[in-house]
Amino acid sequence: MTSTDTRYAIAPAPVHSLPIARERARFPVNRIFCVGRNYAEHTREMGHNPEREPPFFFMKPANAIVADGAAFAYPTLSKDVHHEIELVVALKTGGANIAAADALAHVYGYAVGLDMTRRDLQAEAKKAGRPWDTGKAFDGSAPCGELVPVAQAGHPAAGEIRLEVNGAQRQVGDLADMIWNVPDTIAYLSTLFTLQPGDLIFTGTPAGVGAVQRGDRLRGTVAGVGVLEAEVV
């Protein structure tokens, strides 16, 4: 049987994708990697030392993506869901052991994203020494705006990253404050995984994370990249 004759026992899962600014084509999402504690002030507010140690990562499934403007459904089994505004990097090519000097050549573009977190479930997992999946990788936990290709956005290394909830500022920082910048993050991540086209990297959040409630309206911005809006329902 040739590859074109492949039959599946059940229907294959749909391809999850993001819109691309000024283009009709969409960007297929493969895997979602997230960098933990990548801004010093956020690291401190979470009770940790912000010294530049090797980064750590966690993952979300591709179907955690929620499109810009779509509602974020408050998840079950949690009473403490937090927002974390982030710059998202989308890869067009991949590889292993990528040099930092070559890393940006693998980037397709950038977007504004939210790493939504069931903080109470994450705290329980931390206390028990268990994985964070229930706190980080739940359905709809990765709202993401449209991708802006490098040709339009360049490679933003500095500029304001900001989140407002119901019009009031909650988080504000600068991309230049990342402990691990985008090239270094890609290079390090490529020593742990063979990166692939379609992979997304959420690059960490500045200080000011906090709880959301049903009815809240979130508006995140990254200078030179774009806007992400979502309502909690």
DSSP 178-213: BSS-HHHHHHHHHHHS-B-TT-EEE----S--EE--
Residue 41, pLDDT score: 74
Residue 4 DSSP code:
G
- What is the average per-residue pLDDT within 23-32? 97
In angstroms, the CA 213 to CA 135 distance is 17
- What are 156-189's pLDDT values in tens digits? 999 999 999 999 999 999 999 999 999 999 999 9
The Cα–Cα gap between 72 and 192 comes to 31
Residue 43: what pLDDT?
62
Residue 206 · residue 172 · CB < 8 Å? yes
pLDDT at 1 over 70: no
What average pLDDT does this structure show over 193-211?
A: 97
CA 38 – CA 41 distance, rounded (Å): 9
Can you spell out the DSSP letters for 142-156?
A: EEE--BEEHHHH---
Q: Is 200 exposed, middle or buried (0-12, 13-18, 19+ CB in 10 A)?
A: buried
Q: What is the sign of the dihedral through the CA atoms of 194, 36, 134 and 32?
A: negative
What is the structure's pLDDT at 51? 73
Closest CA to 149 of 95, 203, 90, 67: 90
User: Which tokens hold the place of 72?
Assistant: 């974020």
SS3 96: coil
Is the model's pLDDT at 140 over the cut of 70? yes
| Per-residue confidence (pLDDT) for residue 5, from 0 to 100 | 80
Asked whether the predicted pLDDT for residue 48 surpasses 70, the reply is no
The pTM assigned to this predicted structure is: 0.94
At 203 the pLDDT is 98
Tokens found for residue 138: 């739940």
**Residues in Cβ contact with 55 at an 8 Å cutoff, skipping those fewer than 6 apart:** 35, 36, 38, 179, 180, 185, 188, 189
Q: Which tokens sit at 174? A: 């600068």
pLDDT digits 0-9 by tens, 84-126: 999 999 999 999 999 999 999 999 999 999 999 999 999 999 9
What percent helix, strand, coil does the chain show, rounded to 5? 20, 35, 45
Residues 37-59 have a mean pLDDT of: 79
Strand, coil or helix: what is 80? Answer: coil
